[in-house]
Structure 1
Amino acid sequence: MNDDIHDHDAEDGGPVQEARLWQGNGWTARVIKNEDDEGWAVAMYKDGEPEPALVGPWTMGRDKKNPKPLDVNAFNTLIKTASEVIRRHEQHLHAILHKSTVVSTGQGELKVTLDIVPDDDDPYGMLAATDEMGEQVAKVRVPASFKLTPASAEAWVEGGFRAPRA
């Protein structure tokens, strides 16, 4: 049972619903042998993704040798769990790549943002300042390693919005 999960379609083009393979709602669940012990695991793949979003232990069947068959309730629970894993990963990535702080100036408050562009060859950041009216006051390219803190934002504003050195 080594066929590629993404090429496994039912004869009639409908969703696959087998004991060890379910597809539907943009997801594929595949029950697999757990390489670490004698049990079973389930891998959840989002359609179009080469890597599973979630791999977790799977329950043994009554015979204590084979896995418990997948069913609609289990599949729906696995979709919910895998979707939550993806959502948390996206939130974490967003928090790493997008930071902001506020600097008080004589002319009012400025929102200073740092957006990291995770380019494989040349990652960088864009540091920007926006006034209380939502108008962009300044924008400069900075190294991806730049750390936005209230102090670094204040120094940037007080330094006339010149690009900080690496």
Structure 2
Amino acid sequence: MTDAPDTTDAPDAPDTPDTQFDARLWRNGGWTARVVKNEDDDGWAVEMIKDGEAEPALVGPWTMGRDKKNPKPLDTSAFNTLVKTASEVLRRHEQQRHAQLHKRVTVESAEGEILVTLDIVPDEDDPYALLTAFDPFGERLAQARVAPGFKLAKENAAAWVEGGFGRPR
């Protein structure tokens, strides 16, 4: 098998500089699928790279062709499945990152339920976190800057609220 373009199964898309449909390289819709030699064994792998990113969002095994030596050519169905899978991986990473940077607990006070949030700002030079309290109507009651490693738990949130929103411990 050669690296000659295989456009027999390419989607009907306008020819633009960022569109390419070759047997081992497809570029379309902000994604690039590249079939590469698997460094771990004799097989092949496929990388999915989102435009503008340096690292692949997804790397997985790729099917051998009929000759059991060269990779199976990319096609529309495979490309679309790879885009969907890689997008899902990025979405999960974003959800995980959001969960790590944004925490929330609800505590009881004399005024009712108070929502306390912790939003970490991962600045390279000066990382910090903002501890914020909201009343039941969503109005901000107080905000304090804390260390990015501050552990938000019900107990320390309650202590902050009961202490009149002084310097958090």
TM superposition score normalised by structure 2 = 0.88
Distance 1:100 1:27 in 2: 35
Unaligned runs of 5+ in 2: 4-14
The CA deviation at 1:132 is 1.1
Percent of aligned pairs with the same amino acid: 65
CA RMSD of aligned residues (A): 1.4
Instruction: Report the equivalent of 2:116.
Output: 112
Q: 2:86 & 2:132 partners in 1: Cα distance?
A: 35
Task: Report 1:35-74 matches (<5 A).
Answer: 35-74=39-78
Pick the aligned partner of 1:154 from 133, 153, 158.
158
Flag as ranges the 4+ runs of structure 1 deviating above 6 A. none
Aligned residues: 156
Q: AA paired with 2:87?
A: S
Once the two structures are TM-superposed, the CA of residue 150 in structure 1 deviates from its matched residue by: 0.7
Tell me how far 1:134 sits from its aligned partner.
1.3
Task: Please state whether the residue corresponding to 1:29 is helix, strand or coil.
Answer: strand
Q: One-letter code of the match for 1:23?
A: R
What CA deviation, in whole Å up to 9, does each residue of 1:105-139 have, x standing for no partner?
11111100000001112211100000012110000
Structure 1 gaps of 5+ residues are 2-10
Please name the residue that 2:99 is paired with. 95
- Cα deviation, 1:17-63, whole Å, max 9, x if unaligned, reads 00000011110000001111111000000011111100111011111
Shift of 1:12: 5.9
